[in-house]
Amino acid sequence: MNNKNEIKILIKYFVKQSLLILKLAITEIRKPIKSVYDSFIEKLRFSIAFKINIAFVSMVIGFLFFLSLTVAAGFGFYLGYSAKTDMENDISLITSYSNGNIESIYESIDKISKLKNRQISIFDYNEKLVFTSEEENNEVHYYVKDKSARDSQDSYVFISGSDISFHFPTNAPNTSTRFFMVLNENITIGNKDYKIQVVNKLVNEFMYIGILFSALAIICVITIINTLITGWKASKKILKPVGRMSETVQNITINALDTRLDIGGSQDELKDLAHTFNDMLDRLQESYEKQNQFVSDASHELRTPIAVIQGYANLLDRWGKNDKEVLEESITAIKSESENMKALVEQLLFLARSDKNTQTVEKTDFYIDELIEGIVKETKLIDTKHQIMCEKNERAKLNADRNLVKEALRIFIDNSIKYTPENGLIKINSYVTPEGLCISVQDNGNGISKDDLPHIFDRFYRADKSRTKQSGGTGLGLAIAKWIVMKHRGTIEVESQLGVGTKINIKLPKEDS
């Protein structure tokens, strides 16, 4: 009993080990098989030149095949018609030797049969053989139009007068591969009616067709080979710019964004593609340079208040602990620079959110004239060194983000205050137009030069480079104001002249007004 249990355990063990070995073997075998399969699939990914060449050659092959069939069919019809005419001439020649006796044409039948390698037989009206050019009579058949022609397992064309029919045996166990033409005509000799049948084995015709097919095959092969070679060279030449473009693109890196594709020479779609790609690279390079400039400017703007805070902190560490005047000066300066840093960081975050389209815009209905009236009052309280006026403030309802619109107007007004001398005039007006709503902020300040005007909405750009940060700001305000207006599908028009002043028109479309 114990032996049986041990045997069962051993069998189970060996079966388990065998299955494990089989599983490992399958796993190991799958790796090279998968590698070969992947390699095969990779090779199937033919180049564009190969695909173009194959498509072109396929069209040529199709055209040659159709042309060859047409030529062969036409030539075959011509040979068949010529053979029929020749057989009719043979019968006419044979009957011309008749002198009222059937035997008188036997000699001419033998001569024509041997000369043209044809079987010529004469039958009476009971279809009984009278004479044949064949040595063995048992090889002679009487061919009829009916498909069930007796004793015939051949394929042939039966011609009787203007009637032409084809005979293809269907019940023969071993169908002959012979194909010939039979011409059947009724003749009268010595007041007796006979039937004469001329069998043309079409040896010459089949030879001619064979020669034609051989010639067509040779021409087709030569044409296809020539097409392959010519097409391959042509496609390679056509797609050569693609290879150069690919090499150029591979060499483009973040440190070599100024590389451009060569668009000279060609005047086709590849030139358009290269031009489009170069335009994209121009935009990428411009964006990258703006990003680098933005980071550089942001670092510079942040470094200044940090340096000031660090300087006053060191001053406090050395002397400010016991000097009340130094302590108060340091605290005031640190608070001021902290506020500047906070404002700068908030502006940077606003622009970052706007670039990612994550800045929320909560539109509500409100009256713009009430908002402008409040801004004018607040500005008069804050700034007493300028004349703040509102000559026109038409009542209009606006669907927009009230806080963002107020921030944009504040930026434009603050900008006018910074660049307008004391006692200067700043006008804030709003009125309804057929297109929507127009808000204007006008001053008689320093104005903006023509060179600076296109760049005033660029980030960290200051028209007057000599101004300090306290008077000139961070250079981000106008960029934020522009984003706010554009987000409300509005436009900004700036009119400025040095020494005369600046006028900014903010236009919002009707759908927002």
Phi then psi dihedrals of residue 328, to 5 deg = -65, -40
Tokens of 408: 């944009």
Distance (Å) of CA 403 to CA 74, 233, 356, 366, 427: 88, 67, 20, 11, 21
pLDDT per residue as tens digits for the range 272-315: 777 887 888 888 877 777 777 777 777 766 777 788 788 878 87
Number of helices (H) and strands (E), helices first, in the chain? 11, 13
Cα–Cα distance measured from residue 325 to residue 19, given in angstroms and rounded to the nearest whole number: 91
Rg over CA atoms, the chain:
52
**Among the listed residues 103, 254, 259, 127, the one whose alpha carbon sits nearest the alpha carbon of residue 184:** 127
Contact 446, 420 (CB under 8 A): yes
Contact 319, 444 (CB under 8 A): no
**Amino acid at position 410, single letter:** R
Cα–Cα distance measured from residue 87 to residue 94, given in angstroms and rounded to the nearest whole number: 11
Contact 425, 389 (CB under 8 A): yes
- Full 3-state SS string of 380-408: HHHCCCCEEECCCECCCEEEECHHHHHHH
Cα–Cα distance measured from residue 412 to residue 352, given in angstroms and rounded to the nearest whole number: 21
Cα–Cα distance measured from residue 411 to residue 481, given in angstroms and rounded to the nearest whole number: 7
Contact 145, 163 (CB under 8 A): yes
One digit per residue, the tens of pLDDT, for the chain of length 513 reads: 445 565 566 666 666 666 777 677 777 777 777 777 676 566 556 677 777 778 888 898 889 889 988 998 898 888 888 888 888 888 888 888 887 788 888 888 888 888 888 888 888 888 888 888 888 777 788 887 765 444 556 677 777 766 776 766 655 555 445 678 888 888 888 788 888 888 888 888 888 888 998 999 999 899 988 888 888 888 777 777 777 777 777 777 777 777 777 766 666 677 777 788 788 888 887 777 777 777 777 776 677 778 878 887 887 777 766 777 777 788 888 888 888 778 778 877 887 788 778 888 888 999 999 999 999 999 888 888 999 999 999 898 888 999 999 999 999 999 899 889 988 999 999 999 888 899 999 999 888 888 888 888 887 777 665 444 444 567 788 888 999 999 999 999 999 988 889 999 999 886 544
Distance (Å) of CA 510 to CA 190, 432, 481: 115, 10, 20
Tokens of 380: 């008069």
Alpha helix ranges (H) inside 45-188: 48-96, 106-116
pLDDT per residue as tens digits for the range 231-241: 888 877 777 77
Q: What is the pTM of this model?
A: 0.51
Residue with tokens 């042309």: 67
Contact 98, 192 (CB under 8 A): no
Cα–Cα distance measured from residue 486 to residue 506, given in angstroms and rounded to the nearest whole number: 10
Contact 408, 506 (CB under 8 A): yes
Contact 513, 503 (CB under 8 A): no
